[in-house]
């Protein structure tokens, strides 16, 4: 064990000193994105009861969505793509921890991504990775990915009874480009970007979405289009993020 530790130290020194020696070429840093689903200040949990902006109590047994082409953008507007397609699934903790990536050193001022799958990838199920149809995030009779899936129950404001809620959000028109400001000075260091998604903001900011009489949307009918437009406008406001450096060379 001691020998292994020694080996690691020597190896790290070699890596770091090689970086120092060659200051002309760009040195690299490491970052990773961690996603947290929230409800206001609280962490979101499946099967817990929450109240939306319309005053309806609700709980979800499923919350899944795709984030695609996530990139850091530096002060000169240059993009560094971190991940191609990531499926976030509240029931799978590992899906909330996106992997480590190396990035060129620099001053990054925003994080950009799409909620959903871009049109180049949205029309074939013949794909692997997080786009594997096995994850049930695809319409198989009308090839296209379900960008966002919220299934659960809510209390109807008219009848007071608990009713099912099925929100399957997708199709090309639903793709929501999102850009959130953050500050990251990558300078031979390792950082974490905390990306937060607030489900109640999705249903309130700026468009209030009430579930009563509006509880079954699968995006594939003309009647779904106003609902898609409202959610697409809300998605950018439901995400926020910040970065912090946890290891500086």
Query: Could you give the residue ranges of the DSSP H alpha helices within the chain?
Result: 2-21, 199-202, 225-238
What ranges make up the beta strands (E) of the chain? 28-39, 42-43, 50-51, 57-74, 79-89, 101-104, 106-115, 138-139, 144-155, 162-170, 176-186, 189-198, 216-217, 239-248
Q: Minimal distance in Å, beta carbon 243 to other proteins?
A: 33
The C-alpha atoms of residue 27 and residue 47 are separated, in whole angstroms, by 45
Chain Cα centroid distance, residue 177 = 12
Which residue, 225 or 233, has its beta carbon nearer to other proteins?
Answer: 225
Q: Minimal distance in Å, beta carbon 104 to other proteins?
A: 26
The C-alpha atoms of residue 223 and residue 157 are separated, in whole angstroms, by 22
Q: Cis omega (within 30 of 0) on the bond before 11?
A: no
The C-alpha atoms of residue 122 and residue 242 are separated, in whole angstroms, by 29
* Interface ranges with other proteins (CB under 8 A): 3-4, 6-7, 10, 123-128, 132-136, 138, 140-143, 220-222, 225
Which residue, 218 or 237, has its beta carbon nearer to other proteins?
Answer: 218
- The answer to whether the beta carbons of residues 153 and 165 sit under 8 Å apart is yes
Q: Minimal distance in Å, beta carbon 123 to other proteins?
A: 5
Nearest partner of 117 among 98, 92, 143, judged by Cα: 143
The C-alpha atoms of residue 65 and residue 235 are separated, in whole angstroms, by 11
Chain Cα centroid distance, residue 171 = 18
Q: Minimal distance in Å, beta carbon 146 to other proteins?
A: 13
- The answer to whether the beta carbons of residues 150 and 210 sit under 8 Å apart is no
- The answer to whether the beta carbons of residues 215 and 165 sit under 8 Å apart is yes
Q: Minimal distance in Å, beta carbon 12 to other proteins?
A: 12
Which residue, 45 or 121, has its beta carbon nearer to other proteins?
Answer: 121
Q: Minimal distance in Å, beta carbon 56 to other proteins?
A: 29
Which residue, 125 or 177, has its beta carbon nearer to other proteins?
Answer: 125
Which residue, 31 or 122, has its beta carbon nearer to other proteins?
Answer: 122
Point out which residues pair with 104 in neighbouring strands.
Answer: 28
Q: Minimal distance in Å, beta carbon 52 to other proteins?
A: 28
Which residue, 24 or 126, has its beta carbon nearer to other proteins?
Answer: 126
Which residue, 144 or 152, has its beta carbon nearer to other proteins?
Answer: 144
């Amino acid at each position: 064990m001691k020998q292994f530790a020694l080996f690691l130290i020597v190896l790290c020194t070699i890596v770091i000193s090689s970086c120092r020696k060659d200051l002309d070429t760009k040195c690299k840093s490491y970052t990773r994105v961690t996603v947290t689903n929230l409800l206001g200040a609280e962490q979101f949990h499946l099967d817990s009861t929450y109240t939306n902006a319309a005053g309806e109590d609700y709980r979800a047994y499923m919350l899944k969505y795709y984030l695609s082409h996530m990139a850091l953008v530096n002060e000169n507007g240059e993009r560094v793509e971190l991940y191609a397609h990531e499926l976030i699934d509240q029931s799978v903790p590992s899906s909330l921890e996106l992997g480590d990536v190396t990035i060129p050193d620099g001053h990054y001022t925003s994080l950009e991504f799409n909620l959903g799958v871009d049109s180049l990838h949205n029309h074939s199920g013949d794909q692997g990775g997080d786009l594997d149809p096995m994850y049930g995030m695809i319409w198989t009779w009308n090839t296209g990915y379900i960008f966002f899936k919220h299934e659960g129950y809510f209390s109807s404001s008219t009848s007071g009874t608990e009713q099912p809620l099925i929100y399957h959000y997708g199709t090309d028109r639903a793709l929501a480009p999102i850009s959130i400001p953050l500050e990251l000075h990558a300078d031979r260091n390792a950082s974490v970007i905390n990306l937060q998604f607030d489900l109640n903001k999705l249903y309130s900011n700026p468009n209030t979405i009430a579930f009563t009489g509006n509880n079954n949307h699968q995006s594939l009918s003309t009647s779904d289009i106003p609902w898609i437009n409202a959610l697409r406008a809300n998605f950018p406001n439901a995400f926020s993020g910040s970065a912090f450096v946890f290891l500086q060379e």
